[in-house]
Chains A and B, each alone.
Chain A
Amino acid sequence: MKMLSTFLYHLRQGIVGIFRNGIMSITSSLVLISCMIIVGTFYMIIDNIDRNLKSIDDINIITIYLSDDLTDEQIDKIEADIKALQQELNTIKSYQRFSKADNLRRYKERAGADAEFLEQYTDENNPLPNSFEIRFTSFSDPNFKMEDIYALKNRLDQIENIESKDIKENLTLYSKVTSVNNTLTIIAIWMMLILLLVSIFIIYITIKLGMHSRRHEITFMRYVGATKSFIRTPFIIEGIIIGLFSAGLSVLAEYYIYTYLIMDILTDKALVGAETSSLITFAPFGDYIKLLAIAFVGLGLFAGIVASSLSIKKYLKA
């Protein structure tokens, strides 16, 4: 009973504190909200790019084209070497051998409507080479390491009758996009840190002002024998309320930003062109809401508690 009434008292004091310095409280919240929204938006964009990249079918495949000069025996030898490599390295998940005829057939299947122009090619005048397709560790596999794939590529290159120029892969696409993502991540982290510091600073000032306007009460409370925690709690609660309020608004804002801004704009055919829009698929906002809520509440509590604790510290000698 007593604890509840004390808690309600502190809560009321905290809320009164927020309104006492309304403009400052709103400013604190706005900065904190921009911090959260930037982090959240960056995160969702980066994650979507990543998901799209990993969902490209042939991205974890190395294709080796063979010269037409090679005999079947030589190709058998290459296959044996690849098989040995597969046993040695765990980066090769599977491999497949395609003859010139296989490739022509696959090409025709894929071409669909354009197949007519391919009609002139038959097994006799087949322009396509023999090939191997080597499927390596998936990018989404936690064990995936770019170095491993480059190492694999090197080993393939060393196999007799395989020429470097005939080894094709999408690693550069992958590493380019990944490095863009990494850069975005770094930018996001720095922006978050800076905005977080600014938020903490502004909440700190807000609460400090509140304490200043209540300094006579605080002095009196110390004289009568109020405990430090009793004096401190309303200010901490003030910080927590600012933090939680910002977190709540940020999640809501992210919903609109994500579903109406990002998804609509990036899938707007007129804007980015039909090809791009059909290539990008977006994860539903529901995939992110839990993580965002947890992260924002965490950020909000952190900023609120750190800022309010700092502002009280100097004020509260015994």
Chain B
Amino acid sequence: MIEFKNVSMVYENNTVALKNINLRIEDGEFVFIVGHSGAGKTTLTKLLLREEKVTSGKLHVNGYNLEKIKERKIPYLRRTMGFVFQDFRLFENKTVYENVAFAMRVVGGSPSLIRKRVPFFLNVVGLSDKYRCFPRQLSGGEQQRVALARALVNNPQTIIADEPTGNIDPELSHEIMELLMKINRLGKTVIVITHDRSIVERYKKRVITISDGVITSDKIGGYFTDEDA
């Protein structure tokens, strides 16, 4: 469960990125977050990761109170979330398998568990046969699927995808979205940040619109433009 209560966030250079955000996302929900460039969407995810601290207000994420969290607990907070980025952020010098395994390895996963889980999640994203490829040998869509497998492999409660289809052909974007839906059906909370109007309209899901750091609408279905707000 993720809950923002009157959250505001001001960067050090006095840019007000978020203003008085109130938002509650239940476990197992699927939400889109939309908004123009610079609206504050990425800032929202930085707060979840505790990469940035809220300037005021209360924030609870998957059982952690981010106001009070101790520094040494932050890694464990982050393990409750899996991230996918627009630019994939795979390691070019590692194979598909190694990229996924690395995410497990660095949170202390044992080799035997890694050997079981990595093939399983590569299978979930449909890349079992490509495990020995390097990222440059894959299409954008395939690379994003690797990133998804990597986000899933530590079994987080929440998957957060920041513009997951931004660098992918429209036809293949659909595949990624279907995968995210499938992951949501497995019981995970999925948060998708996107600019892609067609995607949002196609899936009748909860859509949260942010404009200049303020939530201007929170409804099921449809893409709410700034004009609507």
Contacts and interface: CB of A to CB of B under 8 A. Distances in A.
Interface of A: 1-2, 5-6, 9, 216-217, 220-228, 230-231, 318
16 contacts: A5-B110, A216-B91, A220-B102, A220-B103, A222-B78, A224-B78, A224-B79, A224-B103, A224-B106, A224-B107, A225-B74, A225-B154, A226-B107, A227-B75, A228-B75, A230-B106
A220 to B, nearest CB: 7
B105 interface: yes
B145 to A, nearest CB: 18
Contacts of A217: 91, 102
Contacts of B111: 5
Contacts of B103: 220, 224
Contacts of A2: 108, 110
Given A318-B50, A318-B71, A225 B107 contact: yes
A5 B76 CA distance: 20
Contacts of A5: 110-111
B89 interface: yes
Nearest to B70: A318
B77 interface: yes
Interface string B95-130: 000000011011110110000000000000000000
Given A2-B110, A5-B110, A223 B77 contact: no
A226 B91 contact: no
B49 interface: yes
Contacts of B30: none
Given A2-B110, A230-B108, A318-B71, A223 B78 contact: yes
B72 interface: yes
B42 to A, nearest CB: 13
Contacts of B110: 1-2, 5
Interface in B15-63: 49-50
Main secondary structure of the interface of B (DSSP, over half): helix
A246 B89 CA distance: 38
Interface of B: 49-50, 71-72, 74-79, 83, 89, 91, 102-103, 105-108, 110-111, 154
Nearest to A4: B110
Contacts of A9: 105
A2 B107 CA distance: 12
A225 B89 contact: no
Contact of A225 (B71, B75, B91, B102): B75
Contacts of A318: 50, 71, 74
Contacts of B72: 227-228
Given A220-B89, A224-B107, 7 more contacts: A2-B110, A5-B111, A216-B89, A217-B102, A224-B106, A227-B108, A318-B74
A2 B111 CA distance: 9
A65 to B, nearest CB: 78
Nearest to B81: A225
A318 B103 CA distance: 18
Nearest to B106: A226
Given A5-B110, A230-B108, A225 B76 contact: yes
Nearest to B110: A2
Nearest to A1: B110
Contact of A221 (B50, B77, B106, B154): B106
Contacts of A231: 106
Contacts of B105: 9
Q: Give the one of A2, A216, A227 with max B CB within 10 A.
A: A227
Contacts of B108: 2, 6, 227, 230
A267 to B, nearest CB: 58
A223 B111 CA distance: 21
A55 B78 CA distance: 69
A121 to B, nearest CB: 90
Given A6-B108, A230-B108, A224 B74 contact: no
Contacts of B74: 225, 318
Contacts of A6: 108
